[in-house]
Amino acid sequence: MDFRLNEEQQMLQDTVARLVRGEYSFEKRLEFSETEAGFSVDFWKQLGELGLTAVPFSEELGGFDGGGVEVQSVMTELGRGLCLEPYLQSVIFAGGLINQAGNDTQKDTWLAGIASGELQAAVALQEPQSFYDLKDVETRAEKNDSGYVLNGRKAVVIGGHCADLILVSARTSEAADGISLFVLTPDTAGLERRVYPTIDGSKGCDITLTDVQVSAEALVGQQDGAAEVIEYQAGRAIAALCAEAVGAMEAANELTLDYLKQRKQFGVPIGRFQVLQHRMVDMMSELEQARSMSILAASVADEEQSDERRRILAAAKNVIGRSGQFISEQGIQSHGGIGMTWEYNFAHYAKRLIMINHQLGDDDFHLEHYASLLQAS
Amino acid sequence: MNLNYTEEELAFRDEVRAFLDKKLPADIAAKVKGFRRLSKEDHQRWQKILSEQGWYATHWPVEHGGVEWSPVQKHIWDEESSRYGVPRSIPFGVNMVAPVIIRFGNEEQKQTYLPRILSGEDWWCQGYSEPGAGSDLASLKTRAVREGDHYIVNGQKTWTTLGQHANMIFCLVRTNTEVKAQEGISFLLIDMDTPGITVRPIITLEGEHEVNEVFFEDVKVPVENLVGEEDKGWTYAKYLLTYERTGLAGIGLSKAALSHLKELASRRLKNGRPLLEDPTFSQRIAEVEIDLTAAGISNLRIIASVEGGGVPGAESSMLKVKGTEIRQAINDLARRAIGPYALPFVEEELELDYDGEFLSDENAAPLSAQYFNNRKLSIFGGSNEIQKNIVSKMILGL
């Protein structure tokens, strides 16, 4: 039993940490958020140049076959810095989908670019009615002589506003699992995007598909075969998101603890008041719970699919959702008014943590999922 | 024991409803119900309507233009106005500085300021908190030094709600540094146009400009703007805070927010069915509705206990804690109800005249922002920790 990172993993995490510290001050982040991309194109480039966008990919693609722990190392540090770059969407999720299900041509065409960061990909799997259920797909893909015609609407595609390619799920048969995956470029005729900022400082879009004709080569994996692939890769993305959340929670708790030590009222630092001490202890315990689940999730992220993997990932996301909300709310309360201001970074951690609960299923969603997989003994 | 309204109270409720049916502008009500932004003009337009009805200054004695509603009548008004989507009254003039002027001000101050509050000519803001004086309000440092006919004021106030609209500010200032903190504070009325005053916006986490910092640099304030006696301001400040705390439980607002939530949950889908029928989500709603029912009765018990006169005691602190927790829980559920759509912040949909297509739901756009904004409920008006201190000291004797 050894919970330590090995030397390579530690180096990886240190590299990302150094990069984030150097390039991602709070002030700069606010500026990145305001740009058209909604993140730093330069920082994204640097992640690519340093091989960090290639971490989970094979050596031929410039990566080092990184698994859950390597991804966790990267994501935790990106979370600490509240980084806005689409690492989760492009590298982990979209890259993972193509890697798992794509044919050789698709891999050749897209994966090297995703691994180097030169291509940015997004995943369009949710729909207005789907809530968090990625199998609730009403977008349809009808087969015709030239390939497929897609009609429907995809919801809250983070990073989709400036992505070079978008992976879209669509129903190809009435069976519950009758879902297929297509890779589209945003200039495809009939694809329209409604772009918006997100409340946690990022950007995304909803995508409407009207009689979008794609070639048969746009199909990723088997027709009607995408449900399992999506579920598996969403699991990897959940593990990555948990790691990001842990990084953000660490930073949030450090800010709160500093404040308790520095802020004086009634002639003493407010950290002398027992009610605030106990609250801070609870926040720390929540972080430890989250950290443990992030480690557990990372350890199964790249394992073969099983109910045990499903349970662990659901449990991890449930814990992260709850602990993230606790740390956000209690952190704001411990700060008082200052914790609610735009000028102070705590609020931005709080917003990100709450929104992580709205990505890939909230704590209730995963509680239900976990309950449905409960073992009798 | 009888939990029903009397005939007279029911008649009063009908009167309130008839008034609101007839006079509440539909555009304003729509904004309030949909959690849209209200402009200064919206507030002023509604205040004028209330003033004309004679229902603006409900706490004031009749001789100054008030109506002297009983606690139950005030409660009925709060309930009905929340239900109808009446804008929250901006309390700083009518419900905060006015009771202080009425109780402790001199005749000239009453003649000058009270009519201007009623007419809407003055918009007041509150100069209490400072960067170093929040929960520990008595440690405030803004100095007022007497020089001839004036005080010279230097210092900084913060969290000044809607100070950007205000032309008057009431301030707690330090006039004596030789005595115990509470004994060297005075209560000054200050014209915001006086040279040396700077208002700087504080943008809150969801991007809204609601609160401000107010800086005072050698601001000359005529001595006749002192309320009551010099160095006795803490007494007046505390008197004002008892007014601030009543109503902070926001039971009526929670009821309105809950009904909004249920409407939303009946439209949003999960597993192809309305969220309102989802076992997990409906239980969450049920739980908060039950809590609200209990808090509503607690609120009525407090109201009934002061029906004969007086102001509520430390019980209202307990209710403030419970009431704000409930409202925050409702906001939390509303945010959860829109699932992935909690992320997009589509600002144009916050405007009432938005005529484009709504991204997801016509009421979705403000929900995340509102959840974050209402984290303030457990911080302002005396943080919930301070309220618990009050309860433990005043009720439990700990």
**Nearest-Cα residue of chain B relative to residue A335:** B379
- B380 contact residues in A (CB cutoff 8 A): 337
Cβ of A198 within 8 Å of Cβ of B344? The answer is yes
Q: Does B70 touch chain A (CB under 8 A)?
A: no
Other residues' Cβ atoms within 10 Å of the Cβ of residue B398: 8
Say how far apart CA A245 and CA A328 lie, in whole Å. Answer: 11
Asked whether the predicted pLDDT for residue A45 surpasses 80, the reply is yes
Cβ of A337 within 8 Å of Cβ of B380? The answer is yes
* Nearest-10 Cα torsion for B181, B187, B193, B197: 0
Cβ of B340 within 8 Å of Cβ of A155? The answer is yes
For chain A, give the mean pLDDT: 97
* Distance to chain B for A171, nearest Cα, Å: 16
* Distance to chain A for B247, nearest Cα, Å: 20
Q: Does B200 touch chain A (CB under 8 A)?
A: no
> Mean per-residue pLDDT for A203-207?
98
For chain B, give the mean pLDDT: 93
Sign of the torsion angle spanned by Cα atoms A293, A298, A303, A305: positive
Measure CB to CB from residue B206 to each of A199, A202, A343 and give the nearest one. A199
* Residues belonging to chain B: 398
* Distance to chain A for B281, nearest Cα, Å: 8
Measure CB to CB from residue B204 to each of A266, A336, A342 and give the nearest one. A342
Higher pLDDT, B242 or B152: B152
- A347 contact residues in B (CB cutoff 8 A): 204-205, 372
Asked whether the predicted pLDDT for residue B309 surpasses 80, the reply is no
> Which of the residues A358, A363, A370 would you substitute to probe the B interface, choosing the one with the greatest number of B C-beta atoms within 10 Å?
A358
3-state secondary structure (DSSP) of residue A196: strand
Say how far apart CA A93 and CA A89 lie, in whole Å. Answer: 5
Q: What is the DSSP letter of B224?
A: G
Phi and psi at residue B180, in whole multiples of 5°? -55, 145
* pLDDT tens string A94-144: 999 999 999 999 999 999 999 999 999 999 999 999 999 999 999 999 999
What is each CA distance from A250 to A6, A82, A277, A362, B236, in whole angstroms? 21, 11, 17, 20, 44
Residues 6+ apart with CB under 8 A from A304: none
Measure CB to CB from residue A156 to each of B203, B344, B379 and give the nearest one. B344
Whether the CB-CB separation of B112 and B118 falls below 8 Å is answered with: no
The strand pairing partners of A338, in sequence order, are none
> Which of the residues B136, B375, B377 would you substitute to probe the A interface, choosing the one with the greatest number of A C-beta atoms within 10 Å?
B375
Catalytic residue flag (residue B213): no
Tokens of B258: 């809950």
Measure CB to CB from residue A155 to each of B132, B270, B341 and give the nearest one. B341
* Distance to chain B for A132, nearest Cα, Å: 7
Whether the CB-CB separation of B226 and B146 falls below 8 Å is answered with: no
- A358 contact residues in B (CB cutoff 8 A): 335, 339-340, 342-343
Find how far residue A81's CA is from the centre of its chain. 14
Q: Does B132 touch chain A (CB under 8 A)?
A: yes
Residue ranges of domains in chain B, CATH in brackets: 7-89 (no CATH), 123-231 (2.40.110.10), 246-394 (1.20.140.10)
* pLDDT tens string A182-202: 999 999 999 999 999 999 999
**Nearest-Cα residue of chain B relative to residue A199:** B345
DSSP letters spanning A36-58 = SSSS-HHHHHHHHHTTGGGTTS-
> Mean per-residue pLDDT for A68-94?
98
* pLDDT tens string A246-270: 999 999 999 999 999 999 999 999 9
The interface residues of chain B toward chain A in range 352-381, judged by CB-CB distance below 8 A, are 359-360, 368-369, 371-373, 375-376, 378-380
Say how far apart CA B31 and CA B21 lie, in whole Å. Answer: 16
> Mean per-residue pLDDT for B79-104?
93
* Distance to chain B for A121, nearest Cα, Å: 19
> What is the largest distance, in Å, between two alpha-carbon atoms of chain B?
75
Q: Given this model, what pLDDT does residue A276 score?
A: 97
Residue ranges of domains in chain A, CATH in brackets: 7-119 (1.10.540.10), 122-223 (2.40.110.10), 227-372 (1.20.140.10)
* pLDDT tens string B167-183: 999 999 999 999 999 99
3-state secondary structure (DSSP) of residue B72: helix
Measure CB to CB from residue B136 to each of A265, A343, A359 and give the nearest one. A265
Tokens of B188: 């000054």
Whose tokens are 């909803």? That residue is A206
Provide the pLDDT confidence category of residue B244 given band limits of 50, 70 and 90. low
Q: Given this model, what pLDDT does residue B304 score?
A: 83
**Nearest-Cα residue of chain A relative to residue B267:** A129
Q: Given this model, what pLDDT does residue B245 score?
A: 63
Helices A68-80 and A274-300: crossing angle in degrees, nearest 10, is 150
According to the 3-state scheme, what is the secondary structure of chain B?
CCCCCCHHHHHHHHHHHHHHHHHCCHHHHHHHHCCCCCCHHHHHHHHHHHHHHCCCCCCCCHHHCCCCCCHHHHHHHHHHHHHHCCCCCCHHHHHHHHHHHHHHCCHHHHHHHHHHHHHCCCCEEEECCECCECCCHHHCCCEEEEECCEEEEEEEECCCCCHHHCCEEEEEEECCCCCCHHHHEEEEEEECCCCCEEEEEEEECCCCEEEEEEEEEEEEEEHHHEECCCCEHHHHHHHHHHHHHCCCCCHHHHHHHHHHHHHHHHHCEECCEEHHHCHHHHHHHHHHHHHHHHHHHHHHHHHHHCCCCCCCCCHHHHHHHHHHHHHHHHHHHHHHHCHHHHCECCHHHHCCCCCCCCCCCCCCCCHHHHHHHHHHHHCCCCCHHHHHHHHHHHCCCC
DSSP letters spanning A322-363 = HHHHHHHHHHHHHHGGGGGBTTSHHHHHHHHHHHHTTSS--H
Task: Tally A–B CB contacts below 8 A.
Answer: 135
3-state secondary structure (DSSP) of residue A108: helix
* pLDDT tens string B192-242: 999 999 999 999 999 999 999 999 999 999 999 999 999 999 999 988 877
Q: Given this model, what pLDDT does residue B243 score?
A: 67
Say how far apart CA B73 and CA A56 lie, in whole Å. Answer: 67
Q: Pick the catalytic residue: B80, B210, B244, B349?
A: B244
What is each CA distance from B52 to B19, B23, B48, B59, B61, in whole angstroms? 12, 11, 6, 16, 17
Cβ of B345 within 8 Å of Cβ of A196? The answer is yes
Q: Are strands A165-171 and A121-124 parallel, antiparallel or unpaired?
A: parallel
Phi and psi at residue A243, in whole multiples of 5°? -65, -40
- Taking phi over 0 as left and psi of -120 to 50 as alpha, with beta for the rest, B65 belongs to left
Measure CB to CB from residue B345 to each of A129, A198, A362 and give the nearest one. A198
**Nearest-Cα residue of chain B relative to residue A125:** B340
Q: Given this model, what pLDDT does residue B325 score?
A: 97
- A202 contact residues in B (CB cutoff 8 A): 343
| Element housing A290 (H / E) | helix A274-300
Cβ of B372 within 8 Å of Cβ of A350? The answer is yes
Cβ of A199 within 8 Å of Cβ of B369? The answer is yes
> Mean per-residue pLDDT for B140-149?
96
> Which of the residues B129, B205, B387 would you substitute to probe the A interface, choosing the one with the greatest number of A C-beta atoms within 10 Å?
B205
CB-based burial label for B218 (10 Å; 0-12, 13-18, 19+) = exposed
> Mean per-residue pLDDT for B356-379?
94
